[in-house]
Amino acid sequence: QMKAWYDMKTKQEITNRTLFEKIHRAVGSFGLSGLDRLLCFMIVKELQIFQLQFQRTVLKDKSWTDNLLQITRTCNPLQGLIGQPQKFYPQVIAKTPRLLSLFMDLILKVGQMQLLRRQIAYELNTSCKFDSKFLASALQTINNGLLADIEQHYKDPSRPYPKEENPLMFELTSYLEASGFHNPLRKIYITTPRVPYFSLFTFLMTISHLGKLVYVKSIDSLSCKRPTEPLDAPPFVVGVYTLLKQSHSDNTNLFLAFLGQYVRSMVEAMSSVKDPVMSQDVLNVLVFLEDFVFYSGLSRKLVESFIPNYIFDEFRGKFAQV
């Protein structure tokens, strides 16, 4: 069940992991690599649209910027807690639900294509190791050696480093991607300028859609509450991470800080207000963060610097649905 995509209405399986093996047999490694490259350009296009729309509809809209500025002032310092979070966050989200949904559609497309690229990379890599083991070994050796040299250069700038006109890194990257020796989730697709409120906007977009999901213990994952509002959790998580990956790492840390403040504030409020919706919202964020760490490869200690570890264990055991 966790290895396929299903149609929410008909409950019929649409595709599974064997699809890429079949495509590989049909068009070969070159065809599958070409499909991967096509998806890569499609991701670039969606991310560029997101950035353009963000600058046009958010940063150039005075009502939006004033609203984001007010939220920032209320949330600062992020190490603190929000008073009456069960009222504050819904009020903030309720002001712009339609616009956030438009941006989320772009994020889900990016997440889906990233997962497809991940599966294609696995198929290419498996094929390369079985059918061309000498090529696979050579590529791994060259890549590891080059990375070691670059690491030594940053420790000691007097050590050699490939010049810009040297085609080594560019050519090697092409070989690595064609052989599946890469992780699409770690790739930087576009260069983005430093823009204000980016982390806050991503945070608002995230919590506004997490309410459509529910944690199901039997599959140990988030699933949509209602078929009329379909939302697939893995593309959601991967799409958000990919978006943050395109900007400075400070934006990711700030995004995690906003989520951490959200969880801590909700947990504090739950001591005086018994609301099952609040507990489910907190659990959704915690599961989202665990998936975020899994796909991103970030250290769990980074997340635990914003949310105490015991909260993860407490909520998963107490409030999870069967």
Cis peptide before 77 (omega within 30 of 0): yes
For residue 318, pLDDT over 70 is answered with no
The per-residue pLDDT for range 124-146, each reduced to its tens digit, is 999 999 999 999 999 999 999 99
Q: What percent of the chain has pLDDT over 70?
A: 96
Task: Enter the pTM of the model.
Answer: 0.90
Longest CA pairwise span in the chain (Å) = 64
Structure tokens at 299: 């250290």
Using DSSP, state whether 193 is helix, strand or coil.
coil
From the list 214, 207, 204, the residue with the least C-alpha distance to 276 is 214
C-alpha dist (Å) from residue 293 to 4, 11, 33, 78: 22, 29, 28, 20
The per-residue pLDDT for range 50-59, each reduced to its tens digit, is 999 999 999 9
Residues 6+ apart with CB under 8 A from 80: 261
